[in-house]
Each structure stands twice: as C-alpha cells, then as structure tokens.
Structure 1
C-alpha cells in the first residue's frame, strides 16, 4: 500500500447523513487504513425537510435509525467517531451562523485536526453552503491553529445542480487514488460504495444524479482525468506545507 498520509487527526464536516460518504468516503477509508483518526461531524438531522413543517416528534424514530445508519456507514470506511449537530434539515438558514460555528469549533478544540474536508461553497443545497461558511469561519487562520489542509468535496446532485457561474463552479485540483487497496479484497472505491449501501433509503435509481451508478462513474471520470482508474476530487481551500 502506497503511503500518501502520515498519521494525523482528520475532520470531515458534512451537512447531512450520506454527504460524508458521497463526498469523501473513499478518502476516509484511505486515511483510516493508514492509521489516521477520522472524526465525522454531521450538522443537520436529515429527513425532517420532507414535512411541510419541522416536527422532530414525527420523525424521532426514523432520525435515530438514520444516526445508526451513519455510524454503520462510518464503520465500513473506518470512521468510528461520528458526531451529530442536530440542526434542522434543509433549514439551516433559520439558525444563527454563530451557533453552527460554535459546534464546529468545539469539535476542532477537542480533536485538533490537521486536515478538514467539507462542502464546496457553490453547492445548490443551502445547508451545504452554510456548512462551508461555518467551517471556514471556524478555521480562520489564527496563530497556533492545528489545521493545515482544507479540501472541499463534491456531492453528486448538490454540487452539479447549481447554476454554473465563474464564482461557484467546482474546480477539481486535488485527487485521491481510490484504486488503492485497503484490505485483501477491496480498494477505497469498493468501501465507499459499500458504505453507500448502508444509505440505500437516501440513494436513488440511475439516472438520478445521486445514484450508485453515478457515484461510480464520477470516480472513474475523476480518476481518468489524472491517469488513475478511479479517484475522488477536491478543490483546495488551504494547503500549508513545509519543504
């Protein structure tokens, strides 16, 4: 196994359960395989936006099941620290941004991550955009910060569905090889797809953008663009290196 990472603390901040796997599930698997400690923070609860009004009691049992699904998906890719913010699903614009920032800052203070993965700022989904803004506020470059690398992932549907402009288009710049084996029989893409199987209720049938087929095809396209069989692509938000 080629070593791309040295052991470090990694934080994935996602808006909804399944975004963490859709955006960087294979990369999480590689971090875990190399001994990194990966923590996932899922900010919004999921599901409640399917009702005209937010009703936690109506969705209480389903939300607990969704949390358990997120934990099981995390275990597939080697992330055993999955945390939840409990913010309203697709209604995060009803919450003060500072409240979201404080939750993220609390996790950062706790685990001192060197690497953070989160949403691209140009996504159509409002929760994704607020998550991005809250993360960038929480990791503003202060002296003594542990964060040296910030990468923005793409989520099939939310990233590709927004109106394309010069300022919000996802620009892939950083590629992680998902063809790398993480165990005797599976590579990182295999684990990503197996983790998404845990989220079968959230996935859709092809040709929907958020389908297993599209996730697989996107990995092939991102890989082939840099001479690999499959890859996850990221836009660079910050990269601090010492030569």
Structure 2
C-alpha cells in the first residue's frame, strides 16, 4: 500500500497523523510526506535569520520523517499566506506528488482549521485527488491539528467530526519521539501543543472507540473499486 500525507508546515504531519504514519511504515507500507511550506517566514523580518531557521526546520522535518520510518519532500509556499498565491499552484504541486507516489490513501488537514494554510491545503488536496478514471487514490481522510482544529470559529459546517479511527497504541511512543524533534514548536502546559497533551488526546480518542490510544479522521472521500 502507498500512503501520502499532505500538510502545510513541518510538525503538522506528526501532530496530526504521526502515529498512523508510523503504523503504516511498521506494517511495510510505502509512506511519503509532502510539506508545502517552511512554516517559518511569517515570523521574521530579517531574511538571513529566516533562511537559517528554514534550513533548521527542513533538517528537523527530515529527522522526524526518519523517526517515523517515512520519506519527505518540502516546498516553499509562503508561510501563513497560502491565500496570497493561486490555489492552482498548490493543486499542481500536490498533483505532481500524487503522480510520483501513486498513493492509495491520502491524509491531509481538516477543512475547518483556524489556520488558513491548513484550510487551503485541504481544499487543494480535495481538488488534486478528484476521482478521475486514472486516479490511484481510494481514500482521502482529514486529521485534526491541536491548536488549529479546535480553535476555529465554531460553525455547524466546519466542526471536526471524525468517522474513522486508527489504533496507535503501538506507535504512540514513535510519534512522541518524532514530535520531540520539533522542540522549538512545542509549548509549555497548559497548551494543546505539548507531548503530554498529544498523548492524552490519543488516550481520549482511544477510549471513545475501545482501544488504548487512537488518532481520529474524518473521511472526505472513499472509492471502492
């Protein structure tokens, strides 16, 4: 099985779906992560300082991927400014990844996230994975990203309502190890983006579906061939 995870920023892949990706890899699946932005440039006015942090962030993304047992590619769309570039550019980047990886399953952000990059990544992914005759993609699933999904303005049409769950009991430690690579992106409690909170969140979702730890997903599209 081939798996593609499409995210906006480095660390989104681990926060949202790290346990599931690690489980796929442990099961022998071919897993690749596509990260669309450096996740840094919006924080800096100084170009040189931004370049240093971008390189460090890329290195961390590679380290996290190695920990999960997957591969990764990184792109340079503007951080927290996906709404300033043509959506078609993002769609075509994702389409190229799909052509190369030929995935059966695609994971991406939830469409109702507070972060505009997450929202547009989901929209571009749904466009790039439209169910054409020659598409390899059978399932598209959206994951939650702590401090983005639950902080959005609540509306009936944007709530994260998971319909599919993956038991990550055996891969939760690997997820935690990969997340620790992004130490600079973690926060002190009480905050959603801590390793302890991420683990507790997996425990809560697991309890809801009868396993020790789980990651939740909203099924966006499924084609049974």
Q: Could you say which TM-score interval applies, normalised by the shorter chain?
A: over 0.9
What is the TM-score normalised by the length of structure 1?
A: 0.90
Structure 2 residue 78 is the aligned partner of structure 1 residue 78:
no
Q: 1:234: how far off?
A: 0.3
Q: CA-to-partner distance for each residue in 1:173-225, whole Å, 9 max, x for gaps?
A: 1110011xxxxxxx211100110000010111111111112111110110000
Equivalent position of 2:81 in the other structure: 91
What SS does structure 1 have at the residue aligned with 2:185? coil
Equivalent position of 1:40 in the other structure: 33
What is the TM-score normalised by the length of structure 2?
A: 0.97
Structure 2 residue 60 is the aligned partner of structure 1 residue 69:
yes
Structure 2 residue 160 is the aligned partner of structure 1 residue 167:
no
Out of 207, 210, 220, the position equivalent to 1:224 is 207
Quote the Cα distance in structure 2 between the aligned partners of 1:107 and 1:176: 24
Q: 1:240: how far off?
A: 2.3
What SS does structure 1 have at the residue aligned with 2:204? helix
Quote the Cα distance in structure 1 between the aligned partners of 2:86 and 2:28: 36
Equivalent position of 1:108 in the other structure: 98
Quote the Cα distance in structure 2 between the aligned partners of 1:119 and 1:137: 13
Give 5+ residue unaligned stretches, structure 2: none
Equivalent position of 1:202 in the other structure: 185
Does the CA-based 8 Å contact 1:76-1:194 persist in structure 2? Answer: yes
Q: 1:56: how far off?
A: 4.3
Quote the Cα distance in structure 1 between the aligned partners of 2:69 and 2:20: 10
Give 5+ residue unaligned stretches, structure 1: 1-7, 180-186
Does the CA-based 8 Å contact 1:206-1:212 persist in structure 2? Answer: no
Quote the Cα distance in structure 2 between the aligned partners of 1:136 and 1:173: 17
Quote the Cα distance in structure 2 between the aligned partners of 1:99 and 1:240: 26
Q: CA-to-partner distance for each residue in 1:37-94, whole Å, 9 max, x for gaps?
A: 111000011111113x5x5433112111110100111111111x21012111101111
Q: Aligned-pair RMSD on alpha carbons?
A: 1.1
